[in-house]
Amino acid sequence: MKLVVGHLYPDYLNIYADRGNIAVLARRAAWRGHELEVRPLSVGDEIPREGVDIFYVGGGQDREQALVAPDFAAKGGALRVALDRGAALLAVCGGYQLLGRFYRDTNGVEQPGLGLFAHETVAGETRMIGDVLLECELEPGERRTLAGFENHAGRTRLDPGATPLGRVVAGFGNDGESGYEGCRLGLALGTYLHGPLLPRNPWLADWLLARALERRGESPDLAPLPDDLEREAHEVAARRAHERGGRA
């Protein structure tokens, strides 16, 4: 089975080793006998409403976010159609911020967002940096932990009723106050966790691949892999997060 990832703005939003997330998806798909095609989609490119199984957008600094924000906002309609037709999405850090209504930087300049997620982000005076651990439940009754690294000045505040990606066990999360991190809308996930995220949390990579297979009409059941190193990486990150002394 050939699966397709639409990598949004890889030439702009590509810091914090987030390209590693694409590498993990490709490798874990290949180990199960599936091919992963990565299609770069940048400024001026149309978002396919069909044919892409997973969209991915990474992080960038304020300058790069400002360069892509108008183009990204204009793509909102096409992206919504693709998600309504079964595509999944993972957005990290700067990409996550731009999926809300707006991002206001440290100079007070407001960058337009897509409005996919019900949140707004305003840059604070200090950065929130360190290992972070979440508890989340993507499937009913199945609680898992996500471990990663956060480094952001943005304070993202979810609207009442919006669904966070997870509850903060240790770290700052969206704003350092609410106890929540990220946002989820159906198969669209947004988070500040990078470092990159998926090597430390292979179960999330497999969740995305399973959704891609479902979209293709295939069984989402994936053969287990020997994830000893991945589990160790997760445990190390989780331990460091716990050593921060709980939610900041």
Residues with catalytic function:
93, 194
Q: C-alpha angle 90/95/99, rounded to 5°?
A: 85
Burial 223-241 (b: 16+ CB within 10 A, else e): eeeeeeebeebbeebbebb
Residue 134 near residue 176 (C-beta atoms within 8 A): no
Retrieve residue 107's tokens: 């100079």
Phi, psi of 152 (to 5 degrees): -150, 145
Pairing of strands 119-139, 142-158: antiparallel
Q: Residue 154 pairs with which residues in a beta bridge?
A: 123
